[in-house]
Amino acid sequence: MQATVRHAARLRGSITPPGDKSISHRAAIFNAIADGEARIENYGPGADCLSTLRIMRALGAGIETDGTSVVVRGGLPTEPGDVLDAGNSGTTMRLVAGVLAGAPFMSVLTGDASLRSRPMGRIVEPLRLMGARVEARQDGTLAPLVFGGGALRGIRYRMPVASAQLKSCLLLAGLFADGETVLEQPALSRDHTELMFRAMGAEVVEDGLTVSVKPGRLTPVDVVVPADISSAAYWLVAAVCHPDAEVVVRGVGVNPSRTGVLDALQAMGADIRIENRRSEGGEPVADLTARSSKLEATEIGGDMIPRLVDEVPVLALAACFAKGTTHIKDAAELRLKESDRLRVTNRELTRLGAHIEETADGLRITGGAKLTGAACRSANDHRMAMTLGVAGLLASGKTTVSSAESASVSYPTFWDDLDALAGAGA
Ligand code: S3P
């Protein structure tokens, strides 16, 4: 499907994005291996989160859905009758691998062409150190992954990348291991696993950059999933870059390990109010109001990158509207996502007229160039499709976005919400 987006004269409206993808995956996987029943409300409706439900069902969990409500009857995983397919979802593959590594049966985990090209050596290597029998294509680096079943032992491990997926994989494996698992992180990444493990009775301890877990069973926990800040980011950027905009995004999860996008935009001078702060199921939530702003360039790098890793493409778009040159660095991980997001962001925003220079680990974006509608290609990557959709609202004339349906990987109603926001202002 190709989406057509026209320049919006005004942006007005109130949007509640879908349930957080990261928290939804964890609520489903952790409750599926817990001892009893739990209810998840506002479960992420995207294809990635549905891949997780399908796999946990294949591993023996009882899963009933009614809209975005999910009831999970958990227990120890049982041998699946077929290959498990994680689709496009890196989080599903890496977290489920942590469960399968310590399970007493054989299993195979695969995904779509994009996922089968993404690095799995980062989980295979430490899982093998824990004693897992795991094989993978290309010398243990690419899916499909084959698990032979067997006993695990806890390890002390220095993680080479600040990846929440890797951390969560090893914490899950640590639940099934003999002895403690201790992980040393190069920087903090999202901590939804640690928060939910604790709520489920696991012995997980965080001390600076070190996180450890002791083996044990999880007790089920009901979860109300907040709206996804990574989905909210598109509307925040649309509003602060547009000359006539006011947009409210409601019920957004504002866990500090995820709010790098707010920090970066506020450092650029964005007018974003954070209101009605509250807590839902141990996660902080707020309503965000974004208005037209005069933006200045900034520098984004270092420890901030894991806190805004999925928002780099849309932040690069924001930088096109800022005075000066914004430098995004230390972001080489972006090349290993659903697409090479540094390359695709550079290629597609340049097509619209942006002034961008791509570096090995980031982008330099000089703001102020006039963006003009064009035919853009999303590389089948949901975050690129949504970034280009927002770019279309801001650029003059008409923009088309190829494989626009990829937005439904995380945000199935994205194009409807975009139309509503632009239409309300027409
Ligand atoms: C995720 C972690 C991030 C992020 C992904 C979801 C998670 O990846 O890009 O969309 O839910 O753990 P890494 O932290 O592994 O880079």
The residues with which 41 forms a beta bridge, in sequence order, are 224
Cα Rg of the chain (Å, integer): 21
Report how far ligand 1's centroid is from the alpha carbon of 289 (Å).
26
How far is 11 from 424, CA to CA, in rounded Å? 7
HSE, side-chain direction, 13 A CA sphere, residue 334: 31
Nearest to 13 by CA among 317, 199, 234: 234
**Which ligand 1 atom minimizes the distance to the CA of 22?**
11
- Residue 310 Cβ inside 6 Å of ligand 1? The answer reads yes
pTM above 0.85, yes or no: yes
CA of 382 to the centre of ligand 1 (A): 14
User: What is the side-by-side strand order in the sheet with 11-15?
Assistant: 11-15, 245-253, 283-291, 271-280
Q: Indicate whether residue 191 lines ligand 1 (CB < 6 A).
A: no
Q: Assess contact for 281 and 195: CB atoms under 8 A.
A: no
Q: Are 181 and 208 in contact (CB under 8 A)?
A: no
pLDDT given at position 138: 98
- Find out whether the beta carbon of 333 lies less than 6 Å from any atom of ligand 1: yes
pLDDT of res. 217: 97
Calculate how far, in angstroms, residue 160's C-alpha sits from the geometric centre of ligand 1: 15
Instruction: Report the nearest atom of ligand 1 relative to the CA of 164.
Output: 14
**What is the distance between the alpha carbons of residues 27 and 88, in angstroms, rounded to a whole number?**
19
Tokens of 127: 């899982």
What φ, ψ does residue 15 adopt, rounded to 5°?
-130, 140
Helix (H, G, I), strand (E, B) or coil at 318: helix
Judged by DSSP in three states, 205 sits in strand
Distance CA 173, CA 103 (A): 9
In the reported structure, the alpha carbon of residue 164 is separated from the centroid of ligand 1 by a whole-number distance in angstroms of 5
Q: What span, in angstroms and rounded, lies between the C-alpha atoms of 51 and 29?
A: 11
What contacts 67, CB < 8 A, 6 or more positions away? Answer: none
> Which residue in the list 20, 191, 228, 310 is annotated as catalytic?
310
| Nearest CA residue ID for atom 3, ligand 1 | 164
Measure 416 CA to ligand 1 centroid, in angstroms. 26
Q: What is the spatial distance between Cα 223 and Cα 244, in angstroms, rounded to a whole number?
A: 37
The ligand 1 atom nearest the CA atom of 306: 14
3-state secondary structure of 134: strand
Burial label for 276, CB within 10 Å (0-12, 13-18, 19+), is exposed
Domains of the chain: 3-19+226-424 (3.65.10.10), 21-224 (3.65.10.10)
Q: Which helix (H) or strand (E) holds 55?
A: helix 47-58
Is the Cβ atom of 163 under 6 angstroms away from ligand 1? yes
What region does 207 belong to: left with phi over 0, alpha with psi -120 to 50, or beta?
beta
233 vs 226: CA distance, rounded Å? 14
What's the CA gap between 74 and 59, in Å, rounded? 10
Determine which residue's CA is closest to atom 4 belonging to ligand 1: 310
Query: Is the C-alpha dihedral spanning 276, 224, 424, 353 positive or negative?
Result: positive
Nearest CA owner, ligand 1 atom 16:
163
310 catalytic, yes or no? Answer: yes
Residues in Cβ contact with 200 at an 8 Å cutoff, skipping those fewer than 6 apart: 30, 34, 218, 219, 220, 221
In three-state secondary structure terms, 17 is coil
Measured from the Cα of 21, ligand 1's closest atom is 11
The predicted structure's pLDDT at residue 426: 47
Q: Check if 88 has its Cβ closer than 6 Å to any atom of ligand 1.
A: no
Per-residue pLDDT of the chain (426 residues), as tens digits, is 999 999 999 999 999 999 999 999 999 999 999 999 999 999 999 999 999 999 999 999 999 999 999 999 999 999 999 999 999 999 999 999 999 999 999 999 999 999 999 999 999 999 999 999 999 999 999 999 999 998 999 999 999 999 999 999 999 999 999 999 999 999 999 999 999 999 999 999 999 999 999 999 999 999 999 999 999 999 999 999 999 999 999 999 999 999 999 999 999 999 999 999 999 878 999 999 999 999 999 999 999 999 999 999 999 999 999 999 999 999 999 999 999 999 999 999 999 999 999 999 999 999 999 999 999 999 999 999 999 999 999 999 999 999 999 999 999 999 999 999 999 644
Integer Cα distance of 341 and 16 in angstroms: 26
127 lines ligand 1 (CB under 6 A): no
Q: How far apart are CA 3 and CA 376, in angstroms?
A: 10
Distances (CA, A) of 148 to 59, 265, 423: 15, 47, 54
107-110 and 362-366 as β-strands: parallel, antiparallel, unpaired?
unpaired
